[in-house]
Amino acid sequence: MVEARQETLGLRTLEDISGLILHSHDLQETLDNIVTLVARRMGSDVCSIYLLEDDGETLRLAATKGLSRSSVGKITMKTSEGLTGLVMEQKGVVAIEDAPAHPRYKYFRETKEEKFLSFLGIPLFERKTPVGVIVVQTKETRVFTPAEISTITTIAYQIASIVINAKLLDSIRRKEEERAFFQQELERMKAAGLLKEDRGSSTRRKKGRQHFSLIGIAASPGFCWGKIYLLNQRTNLPGMELETALPREEEHKRFLVALEKTKIQTLYMEKRVADMLSKEDAVIFHTHLMIMEDRGFLGKVNDLIDGGTSAGQAVRKVVENYVQAFARMDDPYLRERSADMEDIGRRIIGALDGSERRERLREKRIIVARDIFPSDMATLDHDKILGIITEKGDVTSHAAIMARSLGIPAVLGLPDLLKQIGLRDEVIIDGNSGHIYINPDEKIRGEYERLQRDHGVRQRELEELRDLPAETTDGVRVSLKANIGLLSDIRVALANGAEGVGLYRTEFPFMTRKTFPSRAEQQDLYVKILEGFAGLPVNIRTLDIGGDKGLPYFTYPKEDNPFMGWRSIRVSLDQRDIFRDQLAGILLASPHGKASLMFPMVSGVDEIRTVKEILADVKADLERTGKPFDRSIRTGIMVELPAAVQIADLLAREVDYLSIGTNDLIQYTLAADRNNPKVKQYYDAYHPAILHSIKRVADAGRAAGKPVSLCGEMAAEPINALLLLGLGITDFSLSAPYIPLVKQAIRKTSLASAREMAMTVLTMESSRDIRAYLAERQAELEI
Ligand code: PEP
Ligand code: MG
């Protein structure tokens, strides 16, 4: 009976932890919530998590409930020290009734821990990788029961995978930044004719270590060179033939626990990927979750178990049926889903028997495989994956989507690759064009080496710029802020020297959730952002959903032209409760920093007046609650519709500032969908209509005495930033990794010469001429 209760406690805790993961925004918050939950559930005075540093021998206090919070991040110990070190050293549970009497006891004054007698420490392992230790302490002497130990062991497993996954996702961003550089450089090389593309011709391999090239599907951009690693070649799902079925009840329980583990792992990945990257990337895992929750799938597995089949064999049979069904589909997208089904099957079976083979890369290698699954991407140490080349797969395969997110170059769909490539071969991957060069010759290698050298030198130069002001040679100060969407952007923005946030896209955190966040949840989130920027200005834009940005829990009408439809401020004005909650959340957070409020897609004066009435009403409500908020919060609008350009002078009177959104302004002015590659040549930032529009808005702002900033992607190109400076903009917001490059350009130029450049451009009639002129100026300025 006691056993059954503890099992429920364990499962309940697991469920709670998946909830915590969903509702927290970063690793620290997740760990803080976990220690609080565990301390509460265990009725203990203390629960702490110590994480192992990269040196493999230092444990650092990462979160605690019960010890002094100020010691978090500060207390460290070697694995050879203290009881916590003992847990890591022994790789096993340490349970002690009178800890201070133990010879390995070590006292840390900062934690004020002399009051605690009992100690329970459980190591955190992600498979075989040591991650840290979770410790529970009580003031009274207490004997921890086996059931309690087993509950915490289950939690320890979750924490370990959370930490590993957080580390994985942390380096995604670094990779993204490098990728942007390599892509740019490669384009330059190609434009300069340095890298030839033998499109259509693939030199086949002859004998020995010949150099040859193949062309496949360019699935993830970027460029890399290295030795190869042949990924375990699997043909079918793991056998499980030798598994003998235990009593049905046992098998059902095994299946349930394995499913739960796999779901939590998946949930975590979905949430983190959505937070760090985009909803599109996270959809992989959402689909996996839906399959694991699908009644049909569960019913089939349970029926087989009822019929006496073991859980492992049941999963294998059901998954194989699905895989075959998907593989027969005509639609290539659906065909690719068979790989996802297979991946799910492997992971559940892996969780069932714990035997899942873990591929280990000892050094940086290019992965060569027949096929690669999303979970391969998650479990391999991606810091060591230089690139990926496979026989199967397409751009829509989820592994390809993950590779793009991770910034790992990939070329897929290279039939017979495994027959042609040898273990000692070296490969250059050009993920932009889909070429791979096996044992490349001197010339191509030389170019690649040059790219790497340039990149290193440039990085160092840019780092030195971080704390210098963006100031022209004639002393004009320009403000460079960041466009952000997620909490994890704070670090990236500050690391790149952003002077605040010119555009916080609040729809991003809304996209990663399962329901609309409440007013209080939003307030918490905005407080974190404001505090993260510690007094620097943060311009919070209200929800800009619709168009290509949907929320999974919000039903949209089917529209023929969603970009011209019910989106952005129009949704906010029609869904007043949602809008009011957001405004209230922002206002309530405002005392924690320097917030301003921005409204997207405004087309006319009536709209902004209505918005202001609603804002006044929300303020009046808050006033009655007596809660503090910034009563005179600054308000601004995005100028991103041609209509707003035309009446910029009228709109400027209504608000404190304007911010030009070139991403949408270009699409709406030129009637060219910003996401449609077919009309890419029409989506043109250098179209005279765009440049004249920007000038017009800058002039209107100046005449009205209202600041005008610019937050479209256009400003991320250094030469564009100079052109815009010349057109009258001195306040930019852009993707943070581009800030140093833009700053470097600004520090090389005078406002006078930027103006001269802009005036010349404004006299030009065609964007082709403008482009050519700017290319010349760019070369002269060496930016
Ligand atoms: C814009 O439209 O230029 C802009 C900055 O906003 P978003 O890209 O979010 O539409
Ligand atoms: Mg926009």
- pLDDT for 542: 98
Q: What digits encode the pLDDT tens for the residues 755-767? A: 999 999 999 999 9
Q: Is the CB of 547 inside a 6 Å radius of any atom of ligand 1? A: no
- pLDDT for 184: 64
Ligand 1 nearest atom to the CA of residue 505, by list position: 9
Q: Is the confidence at residue 443, as pLDDT, over 80?
A: no
Give the separation between CA 626 and CA 315, rounded to whole angstroms: 58
Q: Which domains does the chain have, with CATH numbers?
A: 2-169 (3.30.450.40), 248-353 (1.10.274.10), 472-781 (3.20.20.60)
- The catalytic residues are 398, 711
Distance 105 CA to ligand 1 centre (A): 57
Q: For 185-215, give one letter per residue: b (16+ CB within 10 A) or e.
A: bbeebeeeeebeeeeeeeeebeeeeebbbbb
Q: Which is more confident, 502 or 240? A: 502
Q: Which is more confident, 139 or 329? A: 139
- pLDDT for 165: 60
Residue 247 makes CB contacts below 8 A (sequence gap 6+) with none
544, 569, 660, best to mutate for ligand 1 pocket (most atoms within 8 Å of CB): 544
Distance 732 CA to ligand 1 centre (A): 13
Distance 702 CA to ligand 1 centre (A): 22
Ligand 1 nearest atom to the CA of residue 661, by list position: 3
Q: Which is more confident, 354 or 106? A: 106
Q: Is the CB of 505 inside a 6 Å radius of any atom of ligand 1? A: yes
- pLDDT for 217: 87
Phi (first) and psi of residue 118, to 5 degrees: -85, 145
- pLDDT for 200: 32
Place of tokens 């096929």: 371
Q: For the residues 723-751, what does the mean pLDDT come to?
A: 93
Q: What digits encode the pLDDT tens for the residues 540-571? A: 999 999 876 777 678 778 888 989 999 999 99
Q: For the residues 290-314, what does the mean pLDDT come to?
A: 89
Q: For the residues 438-450, what does the mean pLDDT come to?
A: 78
The segment with the largest mean pLDDT, out of 31-45, 273-287, 432-446, is: 31-45
Contact 438, 206 (CB under 8 A): no
Contact 164, 129 (CB under 8 A): yes
Distance 601 CA to ligand 2 centre (A): 7
% residues pLDDT > 70 (the chain): 80
- pLDDT for 737: 72
Q: Is the confidence at residue 147, as pLDDT, over 70?
A: yes
Place of tokens 């469920």: 15
Could you say which DSSP state residue 546 is in? B
Residue 574 makes CB contacts below 8 A (sequence gap 6+) with 566
**DSSP secondary structure, 386-451, as one string:** EEEEESS--TTSHHHHHHHHHT--EEE--TTHHHH--TT-EEEEETTTTEEEES--HHHHHHHHHH
Average pLDDT of the residues of the chain: 83
% residues pLDDT > 90 (the chain): 43
Q: For the residues 440-460, what does the mean pLDDT come to?
A: 71
- pLDDT for 4: 39
Q: What digits encode the pLDDT tens for the residues 184-219? A: 666 666 665 555 443 333 444 444 456 778 888 888
Helices vs strands, H then E, count in the chain: 27, 22
- pLDDT for 452: 62
Closest Cα to atom 6 of ligand 1: 661
Please give the model's pTM, rounded to 2 decimal places: 0.54
Q: Do the strands 501-505 and 479-484 form a parallel or antiparallel pair, or are they unpaired? A: parallel
Give the separation between CA 372 and CA 376, rounded to whole angstroms: 6
